[in-house]
Structure 1
Amino acid sequence: MKPVLILALIYLAYVDWRTFRLPNVITFPLIFLGIAFNAFSDLHLTSPNSAFFGAFLGYTLLWALNTGYRLLKNRNGIGMGDVKLLAALGAWLGWSALPNILLIASIAGIIGGIAWLKWRGHHLQQAFPFGPFLAIAGIIELLWPQLIPTLILPKLI
Protein backbone atom coordinates (compact mmCIF):
# COMPACT_ATOMS: atom_id res chain seq x y z
CA MET A 1 0.00 0.00 0.00
CA LYS A 2 3.01 2.29 0.46
CA PRO A 3 3.52 2.63 -3.31
CA VAL A 4 -0.12 3.72 -3.74
CA LEU A 5 0.28 6.38 -1.05
CA ILE A 6 3.58 7.58 -2.55
CA LEU A 7 2.07 7.81 -6.04
CA ALA A 8 -0.93 9.73 -4.69
CA LEU A 9 1.37 12.15 -2.86
CA ILE A 10 3.53 12.68 -5.95
CA TYR A 11 0.41 13.32 -8.02
CA LEU A 12 -0.96 15.78 -5.45
CA ALA A 13 2.40 17.59 -5.28
CA TYR A 14 2.44 17.94 -9.06
CA VAL A 15 -1.15 19.18 -9.25
CA ASP A 16 -0.66 21.69 -6.43
CA TRP A 17 2.60 22.95 -7.96
CA ARG A 18 0.86 23.56 -11.29
CA THR A 19 -2.59 24.74 -10.16
CA PHE A 20 -2.39 25.80 -6.49
CA ARG A 21 -5.16 23.27 -5.82
CA LEU A 22 -5.30 19.95 -4.00
CA PRO A 23 -8.41 18.21 -5.33
CA ASN A 24 -10.94 16.92 -2.80
CA VAL A 25 -11.50 13.92 -5.06
CA ILE A 26 -8.03 12.73 -3.97
CA THR A 27 -7.54 14.19 -0.48
CA PHE A 28 -10.84 13.05 1.07
CA PRO A 29 -10.45 9.42 -0.05
CA LEU A 30 -6.85 9.45 1.22
CA ILE A 31 -8.10 10.39 4.68
CA PHE A 32 -10.67 7.59 4.78
CA LEU A 33 -8.35 5.04 3.15
CA GLY A 34 -5.64 5.82 5.71
CA ILE A 35 -7.98 5.23 8.62
CA ALA A 36 -9.45 2.08 7.01
CA PHE A 37 -6.01 0.71 6.08
CA ASN A 38 -4.74 1.11 9.63
CA ALA A 39 -7.95 -0.30 11.10
CA PHE A 40 -8.37 -3.38 8.91
CA SER A 41 -5.01 -4.32 7.40
CA ASP A 42 -2.40 -6.55 8.96
CA LEU A 43 0.21 -4.31 7.32
CA HIS A 44 -1.00 -1.20 9.16
CA LEU A 45 1.44 1.67 9.68
CA THR A 46 -0.01 2.78 13.02
CA SER A 47 -2.85 1.87 15.36
CA PRO A 48 -6.43 2.66 14.36
CA ASN A 49 -6.74 5.14 17.25
CA SER A 50 -3.53 6.91 16.21
CA ALA A 51 -4.74 7.04 12.59
CA PHE A 52 -8.09 8.56 13.57
CA PHE A 53 -6.51 11.02 15.97
CA GLY A 54 -3.82 11.83 13.37
CA ALA A 55 -6.47 12.74 10.81
CA PHE A 56 -8.34 14.86 13.34
CA LEU A 57 -5.21 16.55 14.69
CA GLY A 58 -3.70 17.11 11.23
CA TYR A 59 -6.86 18.85 10.08
CA THR A 60 -7.37 20.80 13.30
CA LEU A 61 -3.80 22.10 13.59
CA LEU A 62 -3.64 23.72 10.17
CA TRP A 63 -7.28 24.82 10.26
CA ALA A 64 -6.69 26.61 13.59
CA LEU A 65 -3.46 28.16 12.30
CA ASN A 66 -5.26 29.45 9.21
CA THR A 67 -8.20 30.71 11.25
CA GLY A 68 -5.87 32.68 13.52
CA TYR A 69 -4.02 34.11 10.54
CA ARG A 70 -7.29 35.04 8.86
CA LEU A 71 -8.44 36.87 12.00
CA LEU A 72 -5.20 38.88 12.06
CA LYS A 73 -4.74 39.56 8.34
CA ASN A 74 -8.25 39.17 6.84
CA ARG A 75 -6.98 36.60 4.32
CA ASN A 76 -6.06 32.93 4.29
CA GLY A 77 -2.51 31.96 5.14
CA ILE A 78 -2.79 28.35 4.04
CA GLY A 79 -5.17 26.59 1.71
CA MET A 80 -7.78 24.14 2.89
CA GLY A 81 -6.33 21.54 0.52
CA ASP A 82 -3.14 21.62 2.60
CA VAL A 83 -5.26 21.10 5.71
CA LYS A 84 -6.87 18.01 4.18
CA LEU A 85 -3.50 16.71 2.94
CA LEU A 86 -2.05 16.91 6.46
CA ALA A 87 -5.16 15.13 7.75
CA ALA A 88 -4.55 12.36 5.20
CA LEU A 89 -0.91 12.05 6.26
CA GLY A 90 -2.04 11.85 9.88
CA ALA A 91 -4.55 9.14 8.95
CA TRP A 92 -1.87 7.05 7.25
CA LEU A 93 1.10 7.65 9.56
CA GLY A 94 -0.54 8.47 12.88
CA TRP A 95 -0.56 11.54 15.07
CA SER A 96 3.00 11.07 16.29
CA ALA A 97 4.36 11.58 12.75
CA LEU A 98 2.76 15.02 12.41
CA PRO A 99 5.51 17.04 14.18
CA ASN A 100 8.18 15.52 11.93
CA ILE A 101 6.08 16.09 8.82
CA LEU A 102 5.43 19.71 9.74
CA LEU A 103 9.10 20.33 10.58
CA ILE A 104 10.38 18.82 7.33
CA ALA A 105 7.67 20.53 5.25
CA SER A 106 8.29 23.89 6.92
CA ILE A 107 12.06 23.80 6.40
CA ALA A 108 11.65 22.62 2.81
CA GLY A 109 8.89 25.18 2.32
CA ILE A 110 11.08 28.05 3.52
CA ILE A 111 13.92 27.04 1.22
CA GLY A 112 11.59 26.20 -1.66
CA GLY A 113 9.50 29.32 -1.09
CA ILE A 114 12.51 31.61 -1.27
CA ALA A 115 13.65 29.87 -4.46
CA TRP A 116 10.09 30.04 -5.87
CA LEU A 117 9.80 33.75 -5.18
CA LYS A 118 13.22 34.56 -6.63
CA TRP A 119 12.67 32.34 -9.69
CA ARG A 120 9.24 33.79 -10.40
CA GLY A 121 10.26 37.34 -9.46
CA HIS A 122 7.42 37.66 -6.94
CA HIS A 123 7.26 39.60 -3.71
CA LEU A 124 7.04 38.09 -0.24
CA GLN A 125 3.29 38.72 -0.18
CA GLN A 126 2.72 36.35 -3.12
CA ALA A 127 1.37 32.87 -2.46
CA PHE A 128 3.17 29.67 -3.36
CA PRO A 129 2.01 26.06 -3.04
CA PHE A 130 2.76 24.32 0.28
CA GLY A 131 1.23 20.96 -0.71
CA PRO A 132 4.35 19.72 -2.53
CA PHE A 133 6.39 20.25 0.63
CA LEU A 134 3.83 18.41 2.75
CA ALA A 135 3.84 15.57 0.20
CA ILE A 136 7.65 15.35 0.22
CA ALA A 137 7.70 15.42 4.01
CA GLY A 138 5.05 12.67 4.11
CA ILE A 139 7.10 10.47 1.77
CA ILE A 140 10.23 11.04 3.86
CA GLU A 141 8.35 10.18 7.05
CA LEU A 142 6.82 7.11 5.40
CA LEU A 143 10.13 5.75 4.12
CA TRP A 144 12.50 6.97 6.87
CA PRO A 145 10.42 7.55 10.01
CA GLN A 146 13.46 7.86 12.28
CA LEU A 147 15.23 10.52 10.20
CA ILE A 148 14.51 13.44 12.53
CA PRO A 149 14.91 11.68 15.94
CA THR A 150 18.07 9.72 15.11
CA LEU A 151 19.98 11.65 12.46
CA ILE A 152 19.03 15.32 12.60
CA LEU A 153 17.88 16.10 16.16
CA PRO A 154 21.05 14.85 17.96
CA LYS A 155 23.20 17.10 15.74
CA LEU A 156 21.08 20.13 16.61
CA ILE A 157 21.21 19.57 20.36
Structure 2
Amino acid sequence: MDSNISIWIIKSLLILALIYLAYIDWRTLRLPNAITVPLIVFGITFNWASDLHLTSPSSAILGALLGYASLWTLNAGYRLLQNRNGIGMGDAKLLGALGAWLGWGSLPNILLIASATGIAGGIIWLKCRGHQLQQAFPFGPFLVIAGIIELLWPQLLPTLILPKLV
Protein backbone atom coordinates (compact mmCIF):
# COMPACT_ATOMS: atom_id res chain seq x y z
CA MET A 1 0.00 0.00 0.00
CA ASP A 2 1.19 3.52 -0.78
CA SER A 3 2.70 5.24 2.28
CA ASN A 4 0.60 8.39 1.70
CA ILE A 5 -2.58 6.34 1.84
CA SER A 6 -1.37 4.48 4.92
CA ILE A 7 -0.55 7.66 6.82
CA TRP A 8 -3.95 9.15 5.98
CA ILE A 9 -5.65 5.99 7.23
CA ILE A 10 -3.70 6.25 10.51
CA LYS A 11 -4.51 9.96 10.82
CA SER A 12 -8.20 9.30 10.08
CA LEU A 13 -8.39 6.59 12.76
CA LEU A 14 -6.69 8.90 15.24
CA ILE A 15 -9.12 11.71 14.40
CA LEU A 16 -12.10 9.36 14.88
CA ALA A 17 -10.79 8.30 18.30
CA LEU A 18 -10.24 11.94 19.27
CA ILE A 19 -13.73 12.97 18.13
CA TYR A 20 -15.21 10.11 20.14
CA LEU A 21 -13.29 11.28 23.22
CA ALA A 22 -14.53 14.84 22.69
CA TYR A 23 -18.10 13.59 22.49
CA ILE A 24 -17.73 11.56 25.69
CA ASP A 25 -16.18 14.49 27.57
CA TRP A 26 -18.82 16.93 26.33
CA ARG A 27 -21.62 14.66 27.53
CA THR A 28 -20.14 13.24 30.75
CA LEU A 29 -17.24 15.53 31.78
CA ARG A 30 -15.05 12.41 31.78
CA LEU A 31 -12.26 11.10 29.55
CA PRO A 32 -12.07 7.35 30.12
CA ASN A 33 -8.71 5.73 30.85
CA ALA A 34 -9.82 2.83 28.63
CA ILE A 35 -9.31 5.13 25.64
CA THR A 36 -6.73 7.74 26.71
CA VAL A 37 -4.12 5.32 28.08
CA PRO A 38 -4.13 3.06 24.97
CA LEU A 39 -3.85 6.20 22.81
CA ILE A 40 -0.65 7.08 24.66
CA VAL A 41 0.73 3.56 24.23
CA PHE A 42 -0.29 3.34 20.56
CA GLY A 43 1.19 6.77 19.81
CA ILE A 44 4.57 5.86 21.29
CA THR A 45 4.49 2.41 19.67
CA PHE A 46 3.49 3.78 16.25
CA ASN A 47 6.25 6.38 16.29
CA TRP A 48 8.76 3.81 17.55
CA ALA A 49 7.94 0.85 15.30
CA SER A 50 6.56 2.31 12.08
CA ASP A 51 8.42 3.79 9.14
CA LEU A 52 5.44 6.16 8.76
CA HIS A 53 6.02 7.79 12.16
CA LEU A 54 4.67 11.30 12.77
CA THR A 55 7.59 12.22 15.04
CA SER A 56 10.75 10.62 16.38
CA PRO A 57 10.42 7.97 19.08
CA SER A 58 12.23 10.16 21.63
CA SER A 59 9.95 13.10 20.82
CA ALA A 60 6.90 10.84 21.24
CA ILE A 61 8.04 9.64 24.66
CA LEU A 62 8.95 13.15 25.77
CA GLY A 63 5.65 14.44 24.35
CA ALA A 64 3.64 11.92 26.35
CA LEU A 65 5.54 12.73 29.55
CA LEU A 66 5.49 16.52 29.12
CA GLY A 67 1.87 16.55 27.95
CA TYR A 68 0.69 14.73 31.04
CA ALA A 69 3.11 16.43 33.44
CA SER A 70 2.27 19.97 32.30
CA LEU A 71 -1.44 19.66 33.12
CA TRP A 72 -0.73 17.61 36.24
CA THR A 73 1.59 20.36 37.50
CA LEU A 74 -0.92 23.09 36.62
CA ASN A 75 -3.61 21.21 38.53
CA ALA A 76 -1.31 20.60 41.52
CA GLY A 77 -0.60 24.34 41.74
CA TYR A 78 -4.29 25.17 41.50
CA ARG A 79 -5.11 22.58 44.17
CA LEU A 80 -2.55 24.16 46.52
CA LEU A 81 -4.21 27.56 46.09
CA GLN A 82 -7.87 26.55 45.99
CA ASN A 83 -8.02 23.19 47.80
CA ARG A 84 -9.79 21.61 44.82
CA ASN A 85 -8.89 20.34 41.36
CA GLY A 86 -8.91 22.82 38.52
CA ILE A 87 -8.50 20.39 35.63
CA GLY A 88 -9.23 16.70 35.28
CA MET A 89 -6.49 14.15 34.90
CA GLY A 90 -8.32 12.81 31.84
CA ASP A 91 -7.36 16.06 30.14
CA ALA A 92 -3.74 15.49 31.20
CA LYS A 93 -3.82 11.96 29.73
CA LEU A 94 -5.40 13.29 26.52
CA LEU A 95 -2.62 15.89 26.18
CA GLY A 96 -0.13 13.10 26.88
CA ALA A 97 -1.69 11.07 24.08
CA LEU A 98 -1.46 14.01 21.68
CA GLY A 99 2.17 14.46 22.69
CA ALA A 100 2.80 10.74 22.08
CA TRP A 101 1.40 10.97 18.56
CA LEU A 102 2.65 14.41 17.53
CA GLY A 103 5.77 14.92 19.65
CA TRP A 104 6.73 17.32 22.39
CA GLY A 105 7.21 20.22 19.96
CA SER A 106 3.49 20.26 19.16
CA LEU A 107 2.42 20.76 22.78
CA PRO A 108 2.76 24.59 22.96
CA ASN A 109 0.65 25.02 19.82
CA ILE A 110 -1.95 22.53 21.07
CA LEU A 111 -2.20 24.26 24.43
CA LEU A 112 -2.43 27.72 22.86
CA ILE A 113 -5.14 26.70 20.38
CA ALA A 114 -7.05 24.69 23.01
CA SER A 115 -6.90 27.56 25.49
CA ALA A 116 -8.09 30.15 22.97
CA THR A 117 -10.95 28.00 21.69
CA GLY A 118 -11.70 26.84 25.25
CA ILE A 119 -12.13 30.41 26.46
CA ALA A 120 -14.61 31.13 23.68
CA GLY A 121 -16.34 27.79 24.17
CA GLY A 122 -16.41 28.23 27.93
CA ILE A 123 -18.13 31.59 27.68
CA ILE A 124 -20.75 30.10 25.37
CA TRP A 125 -21.11 27.02 27.64
CA LEU A 126 -21.68 29.18 30.70
CA LYS A 127 -24.15 31.48 28.95
CA CYS A 128 -26.19 28.63 27.44
CA ARG A 129 -26.25 26.50 30.58
CA GLY A 130 -26.51 29.28 33.12
CA HIS A 131 -23.63 27.84 35.12
CA GLN A 132 -21.49 29.74 37.52
CA LEU A 133 -17.75 30.02 37.01
CA GLN A 134 -17.02 27.43 39.72
CA GLN A 135 -18.76 24.56 37.92
CA ALA A 136 -17.00 21.96 35.77
CA PHE A 137 -16.43 22.54 32.09
CA PRO A 138 -15.21 19.99 29.51
CA PHE A 139 -11.76 21.01 28.23
CA GLY A 140 -11.19 17.76 26.30
CA PRO A 141 -13.14 18.83 23.19
CA PHE A 142 -10.89 21.87 22.85
CA LEU A 143 -7.76 19.76 23.25
CA VAL A 144 -9.19 17.53 20.50
CA ILE A 145 -9.85 20.49 18.18
CA ALA A 146 -6.32 21.74 18.76
CA GLY A 147 -4.84 18.26 18.31
CA ILE A 148 -6.65 17.74 15.00
CA ILE A 149 -5.51 21.16 13.76
CA GLU A 150 -1.92 20.34 14.74
CA LEU A 151 -2.18 16.88 13.14
CA LEU A 152 -3.52 18.14 9.81
CA TRP A 153 -1.94 21.60 9.60
CA PRO A 154 1.13 21.61 11.86
CA GLN A 155 2.43 24.94 10.58
CA LEU A 156 -0.88 26.81 10.86
CA LEU A 157 -0.04 28.72 14.02
CA PRO A 158 3.61 29.66 13.38
CA THR A 159 3.25 30.57 9.69
CA LEU A 160 -0.30 31.83 9.19
CA ILE A 161 -1.66 33.15 12.46
CA LEU A 162 1.21 34.46 14.59
CA PRO A 163 2.81 36.69 11.90
CA LYS A 164 -0.51 38.48 11.46
CA LEU A 165 -0.75 39.15 15.20
CA VAL A 166 2.70 40.69 15.45
TM-score of the pair, normalised by structure 1: 0.99
Share of identical aligned residues, percent?
Answer: 78
* Residue 47 in structure 1 maps to residue 70 in structure 2: no
* Aligned twin of 1:22: 31
1:29-108 alignment to 2 at 5 Å? 29-108=38-117
* Residue 2 in structure 1 maps to residue 21 in structure 2: no
**1:4 Cα deviation after fit:** 1.0
* Residue 111 in structure 1 maps to residue 111 in structure 2: no
> Could you list the runs of 5+ residues in structure 2 that have no partner in the other structure?
1-9
Greater than 3 Å deviation, 4+ residue runs: none
| Deviations 1:51-107 (CA, angstroms, capped at 9, x unpaired) | 000000001100000000000000000000000000000000000000000000000
Q: Tell me which amino acid in the other structure corresponds to 1:137.
A: A
* Residue 13 in structure 1 maps to residue 22 in structure 2: yes
Distance in 2, matches of 1:79 and 1:23, equals: 11
Q: Tell me which amino acid in the other structure corresponds to 2:139.
A: F
* Aligned twin of 1:134: 143
Q: Tell me which amino acid in the other structure corresponds to 2:124.
A: A
Distance in 2, matches of 1:60 and 1:124, equals: 25
| Deviations 1:93-133 (CA, angstroms, capped at 9, x unpaired) | 00000000000000000000000000001111111100000
**1:35 Cα deviation after fit:** 0.3
Q: Aligned to 1:45, what secondary structure does the other structure show? A: coil
Distance in 1, matches of 2:94 and 2:130, equals: 28
